[in-house]
Amino acid sequence: MSYSKILVGLQGEDSFWLKLNGDVRVPWCVSLESYCEAVIKQVGIKSVYVDLVGATNLDSTTLGVLAKVAVYTQQYCHHQAVLFCANEDIQRLIISMGFSAVFDIKDGFGDIRLNFRDLPILDCTEAEVKEVVIAAHKALMELTEDNRACFGGLVESLEKTRS
């Protein structure tokens, strides 16, 4: 398996940071969504920052979960999450997925010193993973017509195989 790691941290008591490193794929999806949703819904969280500077690859499920993070931020913090991305390939990918509609995308940031901690990968069932994969791809489909066309068949197929 390729190297991947997700780190989380708070800046002060009101700014939540999420840092994705390496090749982040489906095995992270349940942990990432569960943790982010719980933190962003907390009273007092005002800002959400997603750091993709160390990311080398993100699969479509991870992208969908990040889209959901952006939606949670708009709902609960009442403004856009900020996404930092310096990798040109990933930047092209996130823009093509419609992320500029839900994130304030920047290519870098200054020296931020936070005490990050590792987000563990939760043990989960195949059914739990499937539900997050479906929801993540539906979130992507909400962003653009191209995403709807690209992922509609996958979502339909996965929904048919629900237990």
Domain boundaries, the chain: 4-160
Give the mean pLDDT of the chain: 94
pLDDT at 114: 84
Q: Which CATH class is domain 4-160?
A: alpha beta
- Say if residue 38's pLDDT is above 80: yes
Flag whether pLDDT at 45 surpasses 90: yes
How confident is the model over 4-21, as pLDDT tens digits?
A: 999 999 998 899 999 999
- Reported as a single tens digit per residue, the pLDDT across 107-152 is 887 777 788 999 999 999 999 999 999 999 999 999 999 999 999 9
pTM value > 0.85: yes
For residue range 66-103, what is the model confidence (pLDDT) as tens digits? Answer: 999 999 999 999 999 999 999 999 999 999 999 999 99
Helix (H), strand (E), coil (C) string for the chain: CCCEEEEEEEECCCEEEEEEEEEECHHHHHHHHHHHHHHHCCCCCCEEEEECCCEEEECHHHHHHHHHHHHHHHHHHCCCEEEECCCHHHHHHHHHCCHHHCEEEECCCCCCCCCCEECCCCCCCHHHHHHHHHHHHHHHHHHCHHHHHHHHHHHHHHHHCCC
pLDDT category, 1, cuts 50, 70, 90?
low
